[in-house]
């Protein structure tokens, strides 16, 4: 009983610490899966995550997704959206474009108004369905850049439904994200990792949507429910990391770090000693937003918004992963 009371007091202290001064430091949108992200000061929230996040996907000749895991050159593809695209209720005009650039390539402009052509047999991880085909010019551009048949497609939310794993969050959906609508990481966690690395790495290695400041390192592991401004988010799964964080986003060259160092203190063996070990490393927390998005205005998150912890789990061993 004494031990249980001590753990409860520790958890209450951790929650109190997490309540003080935490705020949104940065917001990142990744319009094309596995290409570079955009740092924005605000972003509209939708059922599938931030608006414009992972709306587009590059696929091979068989419709299968390309990612940095197999095509690290995608790290060098820069994308740009109109500034007003992140304003509330903004809708594209005929001239609105997604602008795409890469080394050695001419600029590509993709109209934001949805195309009429449909491409069937598009697949990413476990999901397959149809998507909008962004046309021959985009196909040639990515085929030339990657040196193999490629196509740019856009998720068709009107006809397709890609569900989040119901074992972790039932009733939620995504577009072309790996698995969850939002991924959150704290600046203090990155700082703690960088103290252990010979060469510090930037946040873009981990591709979060929300970067939080003003909390203890790795405190986000334990966040079961938080409020960002007035919106309620649920932490549904510790984020297990793949090869992508080892890819330098400025050169597209992969190395051994930070995974080598993360394995020493962020592996499932270390963080989840009573669970089955699969050689995974964790860094960040996957989230869903519990609020309804039917009608109404003000569905925005902004840099500087306060982050308040509502509920925590006692340890990583108790967190879904």
Task: Give the residue-averaged pLDDT of 40-56.
Answer: 96
Helix (H) or strand (E) holding 124: strand 118-124
pLDDT at 8: 62
Q: DSSP 3-state helix, strand, coil percentages of the chain (rounded to 5)?
A: 20, 35, 45
Q: CA torsion, points 199, 203, 208, 213, in degrees to nearest 10?
A: 120
pLDDT tens, position by position, 104-151? 999 999 999 988 899 999 999 999 999 999 999 999 999 999 999 999
Q: Which domains does the chain show, CATH number per domain? A: 2-318 (2.40.33.20)
pLDDT tens, position by position, 152-195? 999 999 999 999 999 999 999 999 999 999 999 999 999 999 99
DSSP single-letter state for residue 254? B
In the chain, the percentage of residues whose pLDDT exceeds 90 is 89
Task: Please give the Cα distance from 189 to 219 (Å, whole number).
Answer: 8
Task: Tell whether the torsion through CA atoms of 254, 260, 262 and 267 is positive or negative.
Answer: positive
pTM for the complete prediction? 0.93
pLDDT band at residue 12 using 50, 70 and 90 as cut-offs: low
pLDDT band at residue 262 using 50, 70 and 90 as cut-offs: very high
Quickly list H helices, 66-203.
Answer: 136-146, 187-194
Averaged confidence pLDDT in the chain: 93
Residue 270 reports pLDDT greater than 80? yes
Task: Please give the Cα distance from 138 to 153 (Å, whole number).
Answer: 9
């Amino acid at each position: 009983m004494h031990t249980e009371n001590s753990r409860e007091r520790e958890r209450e202290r951790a929650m109190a610490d997490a309540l003080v001064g935490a705020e949104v430091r940065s917001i990142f949108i990744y319009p094309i899966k596995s290409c570079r992200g955009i740092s924005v000061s605000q972003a509209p929230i939708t059922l599938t995550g931030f608006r414009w996040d992972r709306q587009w996907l590059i696929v091979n000749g068989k419709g299968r997704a390309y990612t940095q895991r197999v095509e690290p050159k995608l790290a060098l593809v820069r994308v740009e959206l109109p500034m007003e695209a992140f304003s509330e209720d903004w809708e594209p005009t005929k001239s609105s474009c997604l602008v795409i650039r890469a080394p050695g390539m001419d600029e590509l402009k993709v109209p934001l108004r949805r195309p009429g052509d449909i491409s069937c047999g598009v697949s990413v991880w476990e999901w397959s369905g149809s998507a909008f085909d962004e046309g021959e010019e985009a196909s040639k551009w990515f085929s030339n850049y990657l040196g193999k048949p490629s196509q740019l497609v856009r998720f068709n939310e009107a006809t397709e439904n890609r569900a989040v794993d119901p074992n972790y969050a039932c009733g939620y959906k995504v577009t072309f994200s790996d698995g969850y609508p939002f991924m959150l990481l704290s600046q203090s966690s990155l700082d703690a990792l960088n103290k252990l690395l010979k060469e510090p790495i930037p946040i873009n290695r981990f591709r979060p949507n929300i970067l939080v400041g003003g909390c203890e390192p790795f405190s986000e592991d334990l966040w079961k429910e938080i409020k960002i401004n007035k919106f309620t988010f649920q932490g549904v799964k510790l984020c297990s990391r793949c090869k992508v964080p080892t890819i330098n986003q400025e050169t597209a060259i992969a190395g051994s770090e930070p995974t080598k160092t993360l394995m020493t203190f962020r592996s499932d063996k270390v963080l989840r000693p009573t669970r089955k070990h699969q050689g995974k490393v964790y860094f960040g927390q996957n989230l869903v937003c519990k609020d309804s998005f039917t009608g109404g205005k003000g569905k925005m998150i902004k840099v500087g918004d306060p982050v308040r912890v509502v509920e925590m789990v006692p340890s990583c061993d108790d967190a879904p992963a």
